[in-house]
Amino acid sequence: MLNIKKLHKSYPIGDSSLHVLKGIDLSVDSGEMVAIMGSSGSGKSTLLNIIGMLDEADEGEYILDGVPIKNLTEKKAAIYRNKFLGFIFQSFNLINYKNALDNVALPLYYQGMKRQERQELALFHLGKVGLEPWAHHLPNELSGGQKQRVAIARALAANPKLLLADEPTGALDTKTSYEIMEFIQQLNDEGKTILIVTHEEDIAQMCKRIVRLKDGLIMEDEKVEQVRASQYV
Amino acid sequence: MIKFLFERDTWQEVWDSLSKNKLRSMLTMVGVWWGILLLIGLLGSARGLENSFNRLFGSFATNSVFVWGQNTSKPFKGFQEGKRVQLKLSDAKIVEENVEGIEFVVPRNQNQGLVVRNFLSGTFSINGDFPLLDKVQKKKLIHGRFINQNDIDNNKKVAVISEDIYKQLFEKDEEMIGQLVQINSMNFTVIGMFENGNVNMGPTSDIHIPFTTFQQIYNQGNQIGWMMITGKPEYDISQIEADSKLILKNLNHVHPEDNRAFGSFNLGKEFAKITGFLIGMQFLTWFVGIATLIAGVFAIGNILLITVKERTKEIGVRRALGATPFEIKRQIVVEAVFITLLAGFFGIITGGWILIGIDSAFGQGDEAVIVNASVSITVVFVALIILVILGTLIGLIPAFKATSIKPIDALREE
């Protein structure tokens, strides 16, 4: 599904440059649920951004679902993002003047899907996260957990191959976090490949595999016994 | 490419982002609205002024010059200086036959005279005229007719009077055609009444009688007071004036360089001054209007730039969700054009209201300074096309700004 070899990335800071990723090798199979852990500055977000084609590596190889991701134009990157990837952000990143339904429908809009079709599909995905009654509410009328569920529905709308979550529970309380994780686990059970960046150990333990980063290198890569979030809810 | 303009989603997006911040959208529009309002208001007023001038001069052949005799200022061919120059009927004929570009030469005579009717009387200017006068100085006849050739041939004692005289010598609503008035103690039959013009070019004219009758009652012989020379539209009236004067000098034994022997009033020149003034004013109007419009459009560009800055994160999210840079740019340009056009429409409508206001305040009645203040549909379309072009150009600035930032940085923006 995802294959990364000897990935390097550095950011220029003034005259010098900060070497953030110093040769990452990572391979993720279809259906996996991987937590990427590390303290701040370890490069975990950078890695996720590169996987998400929001950023480009300086060196190394990145193959997503058999497609080499290299020297992408902005346009091509946008199309790949739309086709392959679903994003879940820490701060939800919903568009605040669009209602839940329109937010979910947005990736479909950029796919060029017809309005009617798009609305139906978006409503279906909202239903999957249990927010069908809230379809016509604006984000600021929803709770944090509900917002994140709208965001998940949006990430799922375009039926992506890979779900990327950047601290998905970072802005939520523990109870809501577990509800969201339970939902993400369900998605994984249905076969979605999921990558979660987190610095919370309990969230990481709810994945099937933990990759620990430190100073731009993978320190540890282990399969874990998945803790089901449902037992806390 | 064009198809997206007809999709509901495009406009939904535009509407969403504009209605999201109504105050800002409205403030943005004020600049362009003001510009268009000024353009329409000024152009309409300028047109109104032009119309009023045209109405004033409309009854006049504007390409014309009056020439009359004065006293010579140089001795010539044995004549002392200070000789009185008297134009004759034959002079008019010779001028008409010999000067290039002349359309009509109308010889005229005038005298002050007492006009009496029953117990009412007044002193008015009496004009001896040919029917041709009606060609160069259109008389708006309310009743009856103007002098015709038959009147001239038979030295008829008929008079065409002005509305003013009618008011002074007749009772209200009294029938005047066929009535008698005494001019110079002789009875004249009234055959017509004309409306007083708004502008009297040359001497005032109250009563017109046949030229031949005038010759007879005032014992004028072949003398004429002055002649009105009208040039064909394609000829320069100043040249005609100079040529005519030269011939007249020759005929009347006047030194060729004697500039005082003939007086003249060149209506064409005066008219050209006013026309030039009107053209200048229209140019100024366009200049001011377009300049204001550009300033307004820049204000839109400016605010859109701020909007784009505010929406950096949203744009980042959209791009993460698969919006291509082109789609982002397109959306912003459409917003810019839409808001410019919307403001333009409001400007045109309110500009129209202002013109209606001007019309009802200054445009009523015969003395109106501004007549039918209006702008043509062409002007409106030109203004709208200019708006679309300017809106597109100005929209490109924030559009490129929006996509110049990488989505990753845009998403980090708080």
Does the pTM exceed 0.90?
no
Of residues B321, B407, B411, nearest to A82 (C-beta): B321
pLDDT tens figures, A173-198: 999 999 999 999 999 999 999 999 99
Domain of residue A82, residue span = 2-231
Please state the rounded mean pLDDT for residues B201-228: 80
pLDDT tens figures, A44-70: 888 999 999 988 889 999 999 888 988
Inform me whether the C-beta atom of residue A63 falls under 8 Å from chain B C-beta atoms.
no
Strand partners, B121: B116
Give the integer Cα–Cα distance in Å for A188 and A186. 5
What is the per-residue pLDDT for A222?
92
Range with the poorest average pLDDT among A9-13, A41-45, A220-224, B12-16: B12-16
Query: Please, which pLDDT band fits residue A221 given cuts at 50, 70 and 90?
Result: very high
Selected residues 108-137 of chain A with any CB under 8 Å from a CB in chain B = 109-111, 115
Give the integer Cα–Cα distance in Å for B373 and B354. 10
Of residues B17, B20, B322, nearest to A81 (C-beta): B322
CB pairs under 8 A between A and B: 62
In this structure, what token pair is assigned to residue B294?
A: 């550009």
Give the integer Cα–Cα distance in Å for B118 and A97. 88
Sequence-ordered list of residues with C-beta below 8 angstroms from that of B282, at least 6 positions apart, any chain: B43, B46, B50
Question: DSSP readout, A113-124?
Answer: --HHHHHHHHHH
Inform me whether the C-beta atom of residue A95 falls under 8 Å from chain B C-beta atoms.
yes
Whether pLDDT at B377 is above 60: yes
Inform me whether the C-beta atom of residue B322 falls under 8 Å from chain A C-beta atoms.
yes
Query: Please, which pLDDT band fits residue B131 given cuts at 50, 70 and 90?
Result: confident
Domain boundaries, chain B: 3-57+273-412, 64-267
Please state the rounded mean pLDDT for residues B282-294: 84
Domain containing A141 — which CATH number?
Answer: 3.40.50.300
pLDDT tens figures, B22-74: 887 888 788 888 888 888 888 888 888 888 877 776 656 678 888 888 888 88
In this structure, what token pair is assigned to residue B281?
A: 């004013």
Domain count, chain A: 1
Of residues B317, B327, B406, nearest to A95 (C-beta): B317
pLDDT tens figures, B327-366: 889 988 988 888 888 898 999 999 989 888 888 888 777 6
Whether pLDDT at A4 is above 90: yes
Query: Please, which pLDDT band fits residue B139 given cuts at 50, 70 and 90?
Result: confident
Q: What integer best gives the mean pLDDT of chain B? A: 83
Whether pLDDT at A122 is above 90: yes
Give the integer Cα–Cα distance in Å for B165 and B13. 72
What is the per-residue pLDDT for B205?
65
Whether pLDDT at B203 is above 60: no
Inform me whether the C-beta atom of residue A55 falls under 8 Å from chain B C-beta atoms.
yes
Query: Please, which pLDDT band fits residue A39 given cuts at 50, 70 and 90?
Result: confident
What is the per-residue pLDDT for B200?
52
What is the per-residue pLDDT for A121?
94
What is the per-residue pLDDT for B207?
87
Strands A59-64 and A2-13, by their bridges, are antiparallel
Is residue A26 classed as helix, strand or coil in its secondary structure? strand
Inform me whether the C-beta atom of residue A49 falls under 8 Å from chain B C-beta atoms.
yes
Please state the rounded mean pLDDT for residues A66-87: 89
